[in-house]
Amino acid sequence: MFSSIRNLFSRPQPVFNDEWRPILVQDFEHWQTLSDEEIGRMEMLVAGFFHSTRWEAANGFQLDDEIKVLISAQASMLLLGIELDNYPQLTSVIVHPSTVRLRGKYNMGGGVQSTEVPPLLGQAHFRGPVVLSWNAALRGAKFPAAGENVVYHEFAHRLDMLDGVTDGTPPLDDEEARLRWARVCTAAYDTVRAQGSEVLRPYAGTNPAEFFAVATEVFFNRPVAVREHEPELYEELRAFYHQDPASRIAI
């Protein structure tokens, strides 16, 4: 699936710093659910992301290794089972201390735009940066049972963008997989919009791209609930990410 992209963008990975391990054990709840083999790959991914990313601090915020490591680990979690070692065309990660307040026009839907841009927790730009709230990123790392993770959300958008279209369908193996994905995700998306969901928050009904990002959050954070209430969606996400988080944890 990603082999050609991986070959094009792969590079020798920097060494994982052992001083990062206590940070991950203490503050990244999902780190403790991984097998030894998974931790080995995660360490490679985290080191690569940490060192290859251009980090920017907004509003005079001071970035330290703890911030960079925890964001790197969460972004890397999505790549753990995928044949991809980095996020192509990611120009930088811009970290705000808390709520992100952007300037410009905001698309409210239905062709309506507003200059009153609402506060955000994160934003992923096509062939550009990912903007994150550090408070939200730390909260997502430490408390997955809440179901939300801004880093997973925004980097799911980055995976969605790999084929050049942000439409809720990331690159898949073949036409059969794409048709199955479209059938399952469209049905779940329509249900969220019509009557809500036991596991997907209403924001998933905004558009197909947000559906995929929200579904990614709960797939990793509340996998047992997703498997119970949305079994077909769980299977599609399990097949795409090549991970089975419900077998690791029960949240």
| Domain 167-251 CATH superfamily | Collagenase (Catalytic Domain) (3.40.390.10)
> What angle, rounded to 10 degrees, do the helices at 208-221 and 150-160 form?
130
Q: Which pLDDT belongs to residue 107? A: 47
Q: What is the pLDDT of residues 189-211, one digit of tens each?
A: 999 999 999 999 999 999 999 99
Q: Which CATH class is domain 1-107+116-144?
A: mainly alpha
Range of lowest pLDDT (13-17, 29-33, 83-87, 157-161): 13-17
What is the C-alpha end-to-end distance of the chain, expressed in Å?
30
Contact 225, 201 (CB under 8 A): no
Q: Where are the domains of the chain?
A: 1-107+116-144, 167-251
pLDDT at 216 over 70: yes
Q: Across residues 168-174, what is the average pLDDT?
A: 94
* Residue 199, Cβ density class (10 Å: 0-12 exposed, 13-18 middle, ≥19 buried): buried
Q: Which pLDDT belongs to residue 60? A: 80
pTM of the model: 0.88
Cα–Cα distance for residue pair 200/189, rounded to 1 Å: 9
Cα–Cα distance for residue pair 181/161, rounded to 1 Å: 16
Q: Percent of the chain beyond pLDDT 70?
A: 87
Q: Which pLDDT belongs to residue 10? A: 52
Q: Across residues 217-244, what is the average pLDDT?
A: 97
Q: Which pLDDT belongs to residue 98? A: 83
Q: Which pLDDT belongs to residue 100? A: 73
Strand partners, 107: 113
